[in-house]
Amino acid sequence: MKTTEIKPSTGKLGIVIPGLGAVGTTFIAGVLLVRKGLNIPVGSLTQMGKIRIGQGSLSKDLMIKDFLPLAGLDDLEFGGWDIFEESAYEAAAHASVLKKEDFELVKDELMAIKPWKAVFNKNYVKKLDGVWVKKAPTYWDLVQMLKDDINNFKKEKNLSRVVMIWCGSTEIFQEVIPGVHDTLENFEKGLKESNPKIAPSMMYAYAALDLGIPYANGAPNLCNSIPALWELADKRKVPMCGSDFKTGQTLMKTIIAPGLKARMIGIAGWFSTNILGNRDGEVLDDPESFKTKEVSKLSVLDEILQPDLYPELYKDFYHKVTINYYPPRGDNKEGWDNIDIFGWLGYPMQIKIDFLCRDSILAAPIVLDLVLLLDLSQRASLFGNQDWLSFYWKSPQHAPGEKPQHDLFIQLIKLKNTMRWLMNEAPNTFLGDISFD
């Protein structure tokens, strides 16, 4: 049973977002519309989902938002950074995710959200040119400026707590560099020396964690996966998680692949391609940024299918992922999958999926759930990597030597059983009224 108490959700919760683009503004506008009673939060487990408590005939279903002591939507305040000076209203109009008649209903609130100057390094996002950016002698000074933004926002809005969630672009592929990313001491030394191996996303994560603010990484950037920031999260006793919001094509993979494996249906190949025309698509048109996303996407199937355990079914399956930048499509991404499978006696079959999805529409409720659950984690005195939130990630962070869980349904069981544990309720064993002698 849990031994620590959950602190009450009193006062306002600030949400600070690096990247007030398509995802960030869709999230903010959506929350504003929902709390005005003008729409409903479809896709948000915390707002629309239910959880079963108790066993057998004594069980009952409760709304998750009523079961958990979450912050209320009326208590949320929004701020963030961007490399362009547009207000959240102007950015929402530019992103063209929501219809104008929708975000026009919250125009005044969106106009009031002006981005702070961002930390930006074109070497990490080569397809974009930042014009609203901070200048300072060292990376260490840039981090202090980020902290000042957060502290000023907290004071201005009279906030009791803050959560940071990265909604910015995908940075180029990186690996952990010994002497820079391996320890907190080396990382802080690198900040003071402006080491070029320290990415902007890492500076945001450091600023948040060092202030005791929970951090979530919505892109596949290396960012808070480095040992130095795990050390900082433990030192400051602050929760974090990541990485890469599970939307679109990968969401489909984590739904379909577990079903095929459950029925012991073989897979010969899985070809995936995407058409995307928003800023994310433009960034991913750069091979180095695409590699970061590719690694995130390719990791999913191996962990679900476990080819080493089931070599006859999955050992030699071929997996290919491509992303194509196509400006006319905008945020309305098309994810196309061809899956070559085989069944009884090895007879071949095929599955074809054409998912005409809206990336930011799928990501926005994930952002809402994550900020509320990270805030809950901190009030429950949880810290470090929150792997119980793997349900929301393409590449769930995991401790060295461990493998991440990618099966969406196992992730959901873990998520809900952790919710039960937080509230001192027994986990659901799904045994119903089965009894044992």
Written in H, E and C, the secondary structure of the chain is CCCCCCCCCCCEEEEEEECCCHHHHHHHHHHHHHHCCCCCCCCCHHHHCEEEECCHHHCEEEEHHHHCCCCCHHHEEEEEEECCCCCHHHHHHHHCCCCHHHHHHHHHHHHCCCCEEECCCCCCCCCCCCCCECCCCCHHHHHHHHHHHHHHHHHHCCEEEEEEEECCCCCCCCCCCCCCCCCHHHHHHHHHCCCCCCCHHHHHHHHHHHCCCCEEECCCCCHHHCHHHHHHHHHHCCEEEECCECCHHHHHHHHHHHHHHHCCCEEEEEEEEEEECCHHHHHHCCHHHHHHHHHHHHHHHHHHHCCCCCHHHHCCCEEEEEEEECHHHCCCCEEEEEEEEECHHHCEEEEEEEEECCHHHHHHHHHHHHHHHHHHHHHCCCCEECHHHHHHECCCCCCCCCCCCCCHHHHHHHHHHHHHHHCCCCCCCCCCCCCCC
**Residue 430's pLDDT band (boundaries 50, 70, 90)?**
low
Q: Is the confidence at residue 393, as pLDDT, over 90?
A: yes
The more confidently predicted of residues 435 and 61 is 61
User: What is the assigned CATH class of domain 248-356?
Assistant: alpha beta
Torsion sign (Cα): 405, 367, 181, 234: negative
Q: pTM of the full predicted structure? A: 0.93
For the segment 397-408, the average pLDDT, to the nearest whole number, is 88
- What is the Cα–Cα distance from 247 to 391, expressed in whole angstroms? 11
The more confidently predicted of residues 332 and 231 is 231
For the segment 87-110, the average pLDDT, to the nearest whole number, is 96
Lowest model confidence (mean pLDDT) among 2-16, 136-150, 356-370: 2-16
Lowest model confidence (mean pLDDT) among 180-184, 250-254, 292-296, 343-347: 292-296
Percentage of the chain surpassing pLDDT 90?
A: 81
| 160-213 tens-digit pLDDT | 999 999 999 999 999 999 999 999 999 999 999 999 999 999 999 999 999 999
* 12-245+360-422 to CATH, choices 3.40.50.720, 3.40.50.300, 3.40.630.10, 3.40.309.10: 3.40.50.720
The mean predicted confidence, pLDDT, of the chain is 93
pLDDT score, position 292: 67
| 51-86 tens-digit pLDDT | 999 887 788 999 999 999 999 999 999 999 999 999
Backbone angles phi, psi at 262, to 5 degrees: -60, -35
Give the domain ranges of the chain: 12-245+360-422, 248-356
| 118-169 tens-digit pLDDT | 999 999 998 889 999 999 999 999 999 999 999 999 999 999 999 999 999 9
pLDDT score, position 56: 77
Q: 12-245+360-422 and 248-356 share one CATH topology?
A: no
